[in-house]
Amino acid sequence: MMTAPRVCGYRANRGVLVLDDDGSPIVGVWQPVCAPEEWSALCATFGDGSTYLARGSCTPRITGIPKTIKYLSSSLLRCQYRFPDEAADGTQVTRVCNTPMGGSKTSSKRSPYVYTRTTCSRNSISGPMVDEQVQRLLMAKLKQAQATFISPDITWPKAVQLTQRADKLAELEQQ
Ligand SMILES: [Zn+2]
């Protein structure tokens, strides 16, 4: 409700701001609750695709975007369980499950959450252990990126022109 454009006087249709020909929001005739700047600032506190930004009952539903990620490696990990399968020619093969794994709470003290795949329920791994490894990989990657970073040699294409003009100006001033 707080993110509904009408709180700052703007009109919206199915979650999309109603704009005039110049692209400015059309203002309704009611008494607004806050100023448009305050409303923008409030909306900016929610990420893109946040369900809190879905405004009103006719707003198209946001699907496929998880509301929040509670555990670091959620949906980054893929289940590597191998299913026995049969190829087209009848030979026995294995197929990797490869579906994203999500975090889920456990009662264990050492591993208060695990990453698991509920649909095949063949794989489960200690959450804190995985997150530590993911953090290490990420830090190593960032370190490497920093070590190999070469700052681009930025030269202004009109530098020569500027020198020429400055010389010309100095010349004229001397006259
Ligand atoms: Zn699986």
Same domain membership, residue 132 and residue 91:
yes
CA of 126 from ligand 1 middle (Å) equals 16
Residue 45: DSSP 8-state: T
Q: What is the pLDDT of residue 164?
A: 92
pLDDT of 167 reads 92
Amino acid identity of residue 55, one-letter, is R
pLDDT of residue 154: 78
The rounded Å distance from CA 105 to ligand 1 centre is 18
Residue from 74, 70, 67, 65 nearest 115 by CA: 74
The DSSP element (H or E) to which 16 belongs, if any, is strand 16-17
102: number of Cβ within 10 Å: 19
Same domain, residue pair 87 and 43: no
Ligand 1 centroid–CA 116 distance in Å is 8
Residue 67 pLDDT: 59
Distance 119 CA to ligand 1 centre (A): 7
- Please indicate, yes or no, whether residues 44 and 99 belong to a single structural domain of this protein: no
- Interval 41-91: pLDDT, tens: 887 777 666 666 655 555 555 555 555 778 889 878 899 888 888 988 989
pLDDT of residue 50: 66
What stretches in the chain show pLDDT beneath 50? none
CA of 78 to the centre of ligand 1 (A): 8
Residues 90 and 141 in one domain: yes
Determine the distance separating the centroid of ligand 1 and the alpha carbon of 48, expressed in angstroms. 29
Final residue in a domain of this structure, among 53, 70, 93 = 53
Cα of 137 from ligand 1 centre, angstroms: 23
Domain with 116 in it: 82-147
76 belongs to a structural domain = no
Looking at the structure of the chain, the number of domains it has is 2
Same domain, 94 and 133: yes
Pair 83, 77: CB distance under 8 Å: no
Distance, CA 110 to ligand 1 centroid (Å)?
A: 24
CA of 75 to the centre of ligand 1 (A): 12
Span from the CA of 136 to the centroid of ligand 1 (angstroms)? 25
In one-letter notation, the amino acid at residue 101 is M
Q: Long-range contacts for 41-48 (Cβ within 8 Å, ≥24 apart)?
A: 42/2, 42/3, 43/3, 46/3
User: Residue 170 domain-assigned?
Assistant: no
- Which DSSP state fits 50? -
Single out the residue of 56, 8, 63 nearest to residue 36, CA to CA: 8
Is 169 a member of any domain? Answer: no
* Residue 21 domain flag: yes
Q: What's the CA-to-centroid distance between 124 and ligand 1, angstroms? A: 9
φ and ψ at residue 173, rounded to 5 degrees: -65, -30
List the shell of residues around ion ligand 1, using CB closer than 5 Å: 79, 81, 97, 117, 120
Q: Could you tell me if residue 152 is inside a domain?
A: no
Is 154 inside any structural domain?
Answer: no
Structural domain includes residue 36: yes
Residue 66 lies in a domain: no
User: What's the pLDDT at 63?
Assistant: 58
Which pLDDT score, from 0 to 100, does residue 83 have?
Answer: 87
117 Cβ contact list (under 8 Å, min separation 6):
79, 81, 97, 99, 100, 101, 102, 123, 124
